[in-house]
Amino acid sequence: MSRGDVMNKVWLGTLLLIASAVAYSTAGFFTRLIAVDAWTLLFWRGLFGGVFLAGIVVFQQRGRLWPAIRAMGWEGVLVALCSALATVCFLNAMRLTAVADVMVIDAAIPFVTAAMAWVILGERESWWTLGATIAAFAGMTIMAGPAVASGHFLGDLLAFAMAVLMALVIVLIRRKRGVNMVPAVCASALLCALIVWPFASPLQVNAEEFGLLALFGVSQFGMGLLLLALGTPLVSATRGALLGVLQTPLATLWVWLAFAEQPAVVTLLGGAIVLAAVVADMMHPRTDAAVSSPALARES
């Protein structure tokens, strides 16, 4: 594969993952619009997102569904399990600790991903991207700093578990970069709905809420997972995780624009640092870590 082809794939993957972060960032917007409890929200989000992705998978494969599922191997099973469990850990972390704690721990995902990618894939990240990751983490810390809580060990532990699980999802999708992993993320969405079902009240929603829940599940969760599965194989694992951090400052922006919730100055400053770090990494000339990873290079 020529350098030009590699660069084109890197840019495509980058754009797909930015679009994924944009989709995920609308969560705060939808949760303010839909007045149902968290478990019911997660149930319908997972179900609608999973059904949307199932439609994509059936359309993509058209008679080759079982071979596509088998091709994912044990990595596909782990991606589905880890992604679903990460969502459950995230929900409970938000209930047991401060949102600021979760934000800061979430910003550590690129570091965890870099370590996993090095051990599992032999993928050594460039110093430039590692520097951008450190800058993004600093920006998230500034955003959350004034509200960081103490004494919430269990909640922080669950947030860290979420970070580890999501890092593993990114690395495993990257490991199987020649295989369509959309069926795996489809299974994760449906599994998430199944896990929260006993705690939810899915029939206690009106017609307007049902429509908003469908839009939430498809546009935020389903599209977010779809774009993540398509974009992750095309960029280094650490860069993929770094791009995912964009969803936090973007979430603040959407809520500000839609509901006039004025963010604090430190939130704006931290968000600007995160955006600057991601843009700087995107603009830096590179062929991506794919060509520096012996294991991945042999697959291409």
- pLDDT single digits (tens) 200-218: 999 999 999 999 999 999 9
Residue ranges in the chain modelled with pLDDT below 70: 1-3, 6, 94-95, 97-101, 143-152, 285-300
DSSP helix/strand/coil, 264: coil
Q: The tokens 């600021």 sit on which residue?
A: 100
pLDDT of residue 293: 41
DSSP track, 2-26: -HHHHHHHHHHHHHHHHHHHHHHTT
CB distance 8 to 227 below 8 Å: no
Quote the mean pLDDT of the chain.
Answer: 82
Helix or strand run (H / E) with residue 232: none
CB distance 158 to 95 below 8 Å: no
Please compute Rg for the chain using Cα positions.
Answer: 19
DSSP helix/strand/coil, 124: coil
pLDDT of residue 173: 92
pLDDT of residue 184: 94
CB distance 214 to 161 below 8 Å: no
Write out pLDDT tens, residues 188-202.
999 999 999 999 999
